[in-house]
């Protein structure tokens, strides 16, 4: 039976597929950590109150990258190079979503509009991350090898999503509502395309590693295309809506550590 649980169990049980999965995840998290760190350093003077929260976001992402590397070490595995077609973070940047790395490498302060762009991009991508980690938490929260990591990362992703909602609403009340709506719609529509392409690429690599028959690979590809069709029609709206979260000031404190992994 094809299911998300069976798929991930198959990836988890094989060293090579698990190595690729953790390598892709670690690379994306580490890249997110760098991006947030640079944004925190470049926040404009009239938005400096956001800098500690952005830095906390980046510290969480760095921690997640270390956790995935630690999971590899626990199995006696080393990371592998990430295939470019599976690099979600870099493909989003290539599609013009979020703040360009060229801008982040400069020392020029960002504008409030840049902050809106960053938060809209984060709100969309953290929705995806939160949903994915909740799926893994539902099936693997008690797993002896990865359960603790899944629970910790899932909680962090929920915090990141709550933070994005709250800060975007605050900026909307300050008069940036239309810019936020435009940025969220643009980001959401681009993200679902990139997510589809990355998912197809990852499944292609996993299929070759695990020796899937063509029929099985075709079923997974059909499922990915079906999800994209739904998201293109209406599902993207869940990524572009805003509501005040139950978790208020979710990134208001210091980042939690992960001594059991890192």
List, for residues 158-184, the tens digit of each pLDDT value: 999 999 999 999 999 999 999 999 999
pLDDT the model gives residue 1: 56
pLDDT digits (tens, 9 = 90+) for 29-48: 999 999 999 999 999 998 99
- Amino acid 46: pLDDT: 87
CB atoms within 10 A of CB 178: 9
pLDDT of residue 261: 53
Q: Do 67 and 149 contact (CB within 8 A), yes or no?
A: yes
Question: Cβ contacts of residue 224 below 8 Å, gap of 6+?
Answer: 196, 199, 200, 203
- The alpha carbon of residue 139 and the mean position of all alpha carbons in its chain are separated, in whole angstroms, by 19
249: left (phi over 0), alpha (psi -120 to 50) or beta: left
Q: Determine the straight-line distance between the first and last CA of the chain, rounded to whole angstroms.
A: 36
* Inter-residue contact 194 to 88 (CB < 8 Å): yes
Residues in the chain with pLDDT < 70?
1-2, 253-262
* Domain residue extents for the chain: 4-240
CA nearest to 54, candidates 255, 258, 260? 255
Instruction: Extract the tokens encoding 236.
Output: 């993207």
pLDDT of res. 262: 42
CATH architecture for the domain at 4-240? Up-down Bundle (1.20)
């Amino acid at each position: 039976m094809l299911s998300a649980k069976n798929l991930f169990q198959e990836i988890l049980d094989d060293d090579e597929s698990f190595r690729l999965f953790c390598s892709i995840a670690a690379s994306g998290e580490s890249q997110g950590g760098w991006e947030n760190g640079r944004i925190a350093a470049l926040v404009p003077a009239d938005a400096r109150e956001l800098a500690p929260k952005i830095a906390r976001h980046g510290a969480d992402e760095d921690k997640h990258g270390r956790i995935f590397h630690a999971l590899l070490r626990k199995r006696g595995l080393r990371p592998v190079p990430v295939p470019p077609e599976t690099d979600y973070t870099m493909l989003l940047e290539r599609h013009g979503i979020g703040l360009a790395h060229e801008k982040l490498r400069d020392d020029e302060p960002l504008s409030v509009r840049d902050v809106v762009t960053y938060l809209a991009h984060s709100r969309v991508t953290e929705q995806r991350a939160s949903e994915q980690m909740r799926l893994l938490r539902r099936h693997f929260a008690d797993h002896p090898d990865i359960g603790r990591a899944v629970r910790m990362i899932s909680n962090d992703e929920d915090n990141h999503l709550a933070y994005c909602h709250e800060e975007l609403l605050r900026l909307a009340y300050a008069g940036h509502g239309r810019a936020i709506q435009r940025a969220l719609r643009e980001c959401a529509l681009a993200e679902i395309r990139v997510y589809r392409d990355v998912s197809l690429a990852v499944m292609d690599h996993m299929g070759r590693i695990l020796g899937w028959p063509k029929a099985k690979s075709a079923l997974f590809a059909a499922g990915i295309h079906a999800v994209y069709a739904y998201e293109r029609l209406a599902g993207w709206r869940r990524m572009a809506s805003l509501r005040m979260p139950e978790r208020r000031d979710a990134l208001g404190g210091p980042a939690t550590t992960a001594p059991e992994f890192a």
